[in-house]
């Protein structure tokens, strides 16, 4: 049932500029606040003039975010692009709204869906949590694959409403989220905004849509928190989150239960275990280790009490994509209509891991070998900032229900990542001269 997915290596990549983020987005924001006030007054004046002298407004009602000019959507050309991107090649295909489409997982899934003939429309806020150039490069890749990514926030109800007015989505692949465990201590509000408020807003629109779509969304292995029974099974306790990130993902699972129970939405949560690969997220250890090893910068390797190894169940992106497609293909229809439940609906949660935890020290050794550079290792005790000591997935449920069977070991997957990394950040920079 699962179609073969070729990964994105053979799509032409676009040069990107790598700007290492020195200061936190929070500090940057403070710094730019006075500038912002100046520019927003200019902008307000300009907007006012525009509305006074322009033709009568056509399109969706102005939301507060639109008034700020951060998003631009609506109009006939825009609707045509949305429809074209969401058009499936055959009657049996899916029509999928992918949130967080310019993200790491979102990009890979959108391309895989489009390639097998499904209709795909992306939404992404392109926020600055990590290098937005990388998101723009992924967007260009999606564009070449025929996937249009609408720039907007999942908290924007009128935008989502409009998308459902234009397209009868059969499925929503919800991947938009504030990721990262440690960043939650700097900016807790962004986790509540994206992972809780944004998710509820999306579910509100989905429950009112006719027909209601089936929803597959990204939860996280972090919901297992301080659970020490291994391997982690879906039935294990998830009531001891170790980070606000984990707590918001756990909240998402409970919210999913509510919307399934009250409105008959079919919802599947996928607990991803440390997903890595080409076009990955720069805030993840394998990614910034690669960067720092190449720069000759020391890397911090954390160890648990009594020199205990910190290990992760690293899962390669192509395996995750197969799991997501399996979840979409086996998702039953939602049962509600007109915002009312008509009967019980499917509610599922699956681990998507690799069932092979690897110590972080071994990850570093593999990277040294692939990069042909020795790492400067700084071994430190693990700080109490939200990270857990190890993760290990039991995937027998996903295997049984989704046909999920990961096939990529860490060394093979990292080889593909490193090849992409060197091509994207090193070769392209050289050839730009
Ligand atoms: C994995 O989970 C399944 C239930 O989904 C359970 O039957 C099995 O015993 C678990 N395996 C291990 C090794 O814990």
Distance CA 176, CA 158 (A): 17
Q: Considering the domain boundaries, does residue 280 fall inside one?
A: no
Q: Considering the domain boundaries, does residue 23 fall inside one?
A: no
Residues designated as active site:
245
Please work out whether the CB of residue 231 comes within 6 Å of at least one atom of ligand 1. Answer: yes
Residue 228 CA to ligand 1 centre (angstroms): 15
Q: What is the pLDDT of residue 53?
A: 43
Please work out whether the CB of residue 70 comes within 6 Å of at least one atom of ligand 1. Answer: no
Q: What is the pLDDT of residue 62?
A: 41
Please work out whether the CB of residue 394 comes within 6 Å of at least one atom of ligand 1. Answer: yes
Phi and psi torsions of 123, nearest 5°: -130, 140
Q: Considering the domain boundaries, does residue 196 fall inside one?
A: yes
> Taking 80 as the threshold, does the pLDDT of residue 433 lie above it?
no
Q: Are 151 and 302 in contact (CB under 8 A)?
A: no
Q: What is the pLDDT of residue 8?
A: 56
Greater confidence, 139 or 47?
139
Q: Are 292 and 421 in contact (CB under 8 A)?
A: no
User: Residue 58: CB partners within 8 Å, gap ≥ 6?
Assistant: 74, 75
Q: Which tokens in the block code for residue 381?
A: 């005790």
For all residues of the chain together, what is the average pLDDT? 88
Name beta bridge partners: 220: 272
Q: Which tokens in the block code for residue 163?
A: 């998308």
Name beta bridge partners: 308: 304
- DSSP track, 312-361: E--EEHHHHHHHHHHHHHHPPPP--BTTB--S---EEEEEE--S--EEHH
Distance CA 223, CA 216 (A): 17
Q: Which tokens in the block code for residue 58?
A: 């056509």
Structural domain count, the chain:
1
Residue 233 CA to ligand 1 centre (angstroms): 7
User: Residue 278: CB partners within 8 Å, gap ≥ 6?
Assistant: 7, 8, 9, 317, 416, 417, 419, 420, 421
Residue 94 CA to ligand 1 centre (angstroms): 32
> Taking 60 as the threshold, does the pLDDT of residue 24 lie above it?
no
Pocket test residue of 228, 233, 395 for ligand 1, highest count of atoms within 8 A of CB:
233
Please work out whether the CB of residue 230 comes within 6 Å of at least one atom of ligand 1. Answer: no
Pairing outcome for strands 95-99 and 119-124: parallel
Distance CA 270, CA 273 (A): 9
The position carrying tokens 């400067």 is 376
Please work out whether the CB of residue 355 comes within 6 Å of at least one atom of ligand 1. Answer: no
Distance CA 250, CA 253 (A): 5
- CATH number of the domain enclosing 216: 3.40.50.720
pTM score, two decimals?
0.85
Name beta bridge partners: 226: none
Q: Ligand 1 atom 14: the closest Cα is on which residue?
A: 231
Q: Considering the domain boundaries, does residue 278 fall inside one?
A: no
**Confidence label for 307 from pLDDT (cuts 50, 70 and 90):** confident
Q: Which atom of ligand 1 is nearest to the CA of 231?
A: 14
User: Residue 127: CB partners within 8 Å, gap ≥ 6?
Assistant: none
Query: Mean of the pLDDT values across residues 240-256?
Result: 97
> Taking 70 as the threshold, does the pLDDT of residue 38 lie above it?
no
Q: Considering the domain boundaries, does residue 18 fall inside one?
A: no
Name beta bridge partners: 172: 97, 215
Question: What does each C-alpha distance from 295 to 21, 274, 279 come to in angstroms?
Answer: 15, 24, 20
Instruction: Provide the phi-psi class of 77: left if phi over 0, else alpha when psi is between -120 and 50, else beta.
Output: alpha
Q: What is the pLDDT of residue 419?
A: 98
Instruction: Provide the phi-psi class of 408: left if phi over 0, else alpha when psi is between -120 and 50, else beta.
Output: beta
Distance CA 433, CA 430 (A): 6
What's the pLDDT tens digit per position in 211-235? Answer: 999 999 999 999 999 988 999 999 9
Q: Considering the domain boundaries, does residue 420 fall inside one?
A: no
Q: Considering the domain boundaries, does residue 330 fall inside one?
A: yes
Q: Considering the domain boundaries, does residue 200 fall inside one?
A: yes
What's the pLDDT tens digit per position in 312-342? Answer: 999 999 999 999 999 999 999 999 988 889 9
> Taking 50 as the threshold, does the pLDDT of residue 264 lie above it?
yes
Asked if the bond preceding 211 is cis, omega within 30° of 0, the reply is: yes
The position carrying tokens 């908290």 is 155
CB atoms within 10 A of CB 18: 15
Task: Give percent of the chain above pLDDT 70.
Answer: 82
What's the pLDDT tens digit per position in 48-97? Answer: 444 444 433 333 344 444 444 445 799 999 999 999 999 999 999 999 99
Phi and psi torsions of 284, nearest 5°: -95, 150
Can you give the residue range of the structural domain that contains 227? 177-273+317-353+392-408
DSSP 144: H
**Confidence label for 384 from pLDDT (cuts 50, 70 and 90):** confident
């Amino acid at each position: 049932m699962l179609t073969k997915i070729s990964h994105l290596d053979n799509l032409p990549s676009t040069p990107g500029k790598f700007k290492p983020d020195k200061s936190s987005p929070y500090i940057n924001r403070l710094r730019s606040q006075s500038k912002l006030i100046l520019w927003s007054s200019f902008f307000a004046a300009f907007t006012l003039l525009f509305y006074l002298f322009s033709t009568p407004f056509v399109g969706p009602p102005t939301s507060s975010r639109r008034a700020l000019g951060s998003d631009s959507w609506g109009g006939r050309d825009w609707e045509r692009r949305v429809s074209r991107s969401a058009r499936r090649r055959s009657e049996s295909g899916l029509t999928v709204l992918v949130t967080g489409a310019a993200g790491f997982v979102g990009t890979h899934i959108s391309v895989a869906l489009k390639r097998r003939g499904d209709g795909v429309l992306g939404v992404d806020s392109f926020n600055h949590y990590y290098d937005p150039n990388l998101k723009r490069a992924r967007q260009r890749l999606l564009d070449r694959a025929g996937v249009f990514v609408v720039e907007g926030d999942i908290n924007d109800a009128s935008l989502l409403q409009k998308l459902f007015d234009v397209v009868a989505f059969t499925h929503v692949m919800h991947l938009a989220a504030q990721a990262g465990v440690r960043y939650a201590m700097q900016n807790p509000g962004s986790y509540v905004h994206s992972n809780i408020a944004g998710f509820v807003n999306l579910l509100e629109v989905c429950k009112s849509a006719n027909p209601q779509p089936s929803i597959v969304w990204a939860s996280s292995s972090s919901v297992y928190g301080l659970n020490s029974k291994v391997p982690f099974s879906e039935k294990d306790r998830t009531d001891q989150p170790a980070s606000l990130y984990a707590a918001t993902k756990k909240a998402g699972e409970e919210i999913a239960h509510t919307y399934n129970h009250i409105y008959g939405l079919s919802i599947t949560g996928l607990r991803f275990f440390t997903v890595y690969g080409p076009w990955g997220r720069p805030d993840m250890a394998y990614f910034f280790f690669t960067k720092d090893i190449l720069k000759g910068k020391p890397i911090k390797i954390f160890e648990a009490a009594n020199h205990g190894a910190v290990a992760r169940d690293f899962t390669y992106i192509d395996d995750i994509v197969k799991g997501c497609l399996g979840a979409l293909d086996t998702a039953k229809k939602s049962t509600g209509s007109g915002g009312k439940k008509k009967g019980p609906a499917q509610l599922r949660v699956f681990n998507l891991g690799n069932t092979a935890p690897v110590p972080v020290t071994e990850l570093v050794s593999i990277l040294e070998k692939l990069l042909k550079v020795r790492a400067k290792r700084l071994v430190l005790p693990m700080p109490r900032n939200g990270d857990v000591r190890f993760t290990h997935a039991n995937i027998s449920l996903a295997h049984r229900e989704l046909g999920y069977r990961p096939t990529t070991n860490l060394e093979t997957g990292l080889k593909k990542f490193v090849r992409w990394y060197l091509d994207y950040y090193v070769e392209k920079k050289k050839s730009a001269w």
